[in-house]
Amino acid sequence: MTSKITDRKIVIVNQAVNYLTIGLANAFFSRFEEVCLITGSVHQQGEALDQNIKISKINYWHEKPARKKLQSYIIGAIKILFLLKTKYRGYEVFFVSVPPMSYLLGLFGRQKFSVVIWDVYPDAFKITGIKEKYALYRLFRFLNIRALRKSYKIFTISEVMADLLSQYVDIKRIIVLPIWSIFQEKSDYLRAENPFIVENKINQKFIVQYSGNIGLTHRVEVMVMLAEKMKDHENILFQIIGRGPRKAYLKKMVKEKDLPNCQFLSFQSDEMFPYSLSAADMGVVVLDAITAKGSVPSKSYNLMSFGIPALYIASDDSQLYAYADKYKHASCYNENELDKAVKYILEMATDKEMYERLSANALEAAKDFKRGNADKFVEKYLEVNEIKTPN
């Protein structure tokens, strides 16, 4: 057994902790004697946070409305900075995800800090209409360059995202490591006994499912468009599970188009989630073309872990396209190729041999996205930098 590091302490910063941050924190605690966490909430799913990891609570992260989101961002950043300069003054800092670009706080002082980037900013701001020529965008770009060049280690989750980040920092400094699924082993849920299927009376349907946020970066209306194109195929159900600012708009679209083959459901509980996911015959992952290079939704890995073939709606320069091409478990189309997507859905719904082949490919792909990847983050973190970090 490797002895723990006693002469270094690390604090992980994420205002909204989920299973990924918990995995990272536990992996660090397997090597460091002291690991702390600054967060506003801890959502435990699949893996419990080690009780010996100390937590400093800050304000809760709000996703909506926009006013509350901005408020939680500003208050959270102030509280994080205060804690880093007081309670955690002698600690190494590991910034994760929320609030976005929180690692800019590393510019205030001389603490060693690292960052794991799951969504690339300021590029992701483009979805809100902020353009590169705007002063705010240029300011974030300037600060991003400064912060990333000053950081100790930079992690991201895909080669495509590393390429996008190379506009801010030398690509040789970027460590690419994929994340992992909530579910580590495939569980079989018989359709006849699946409480989600029984409750929603959908046992005889081929379910094309989108499950997740319905926000600005998610062009979920493609589900409605597909449902409209396949309105005559009564055995195929388009299921939209989740919440977000655009859900009401999508419901209005479905009502106006009179689509009985499109179903809306609320976010499922943690207990029901594996049943709702396993109910899908095909999972849908959607990325807006503007931000497709800067993000990889975690639902992609959850679908793989259950052996569910996927339909990706994304550009051909996205990591989703690269995954579909590499693992052959999915097909990826842009929004202008929905007729091709319709053909793919029909083939999967009628060709059992093809379906089983893609399902097996998904399970094989899932082997690359296991919890052990968290330990690889720590291994890379502890490696001595070969490239000097600029002052």
**Where do we find the tokens 């209409």?**
129
pLDDT band at 63; cut points 50, 70, 90:
confident
Q: Comparing 344 with 295, which gets the higher pLDDT?
A: 344
Q: How far is CA 318 from the centre of its chain?
A: 14
Cα separations (Å) of 135 from 100, 132, 142, 143? 18, 8, 10, 12
Evaluate if residue 172 carries a pLDDT over 70: yes
Cα separations (Å) of 67 from 62, 105, 107? 9, 22, 26
CA 241, CA 293: separation in Å to the nearest integer? 24
Evaluate if residue 285 carries a pLDDT over 90: yes
Summarize pLDDT for 137-160 with one digit per residue, the tens.
899 999 999 999 999 999 999 999
**Over residues 77-103, mean pLDDT:** 93
Q: Comparing 382 with 101, which gets the higher pLDDT?
A: 382
pLDDT of the residue at 175: 97
pLDDT band at 353; cut points 50, 70, 90:
very high
Tokens of 90: 């002698």
pLDDT band at 390; cut points 50, 70, 90:
low
Evaluate if residue 380 carries a pLDDT over 70: yes
pTM of the model: 0.91
Q: Is the peptide bond before 65 cis (omega within 30 degrees of 0)?
A: yes
3-state helix, strand, coil in the chain (%, to 5): 40, 20, 40
User: How does the average pLDDT of the chain come out, rounded?
Assistant: 91
Evaluate if residue 186 carries a pLDDT over 90: no
What's the CA angle centered on 37, arms 36 and 38, to 5 degrees? 130
- For residue 326, which of 341, 306, 310, 302 has the smallest C-alpha distance? 310
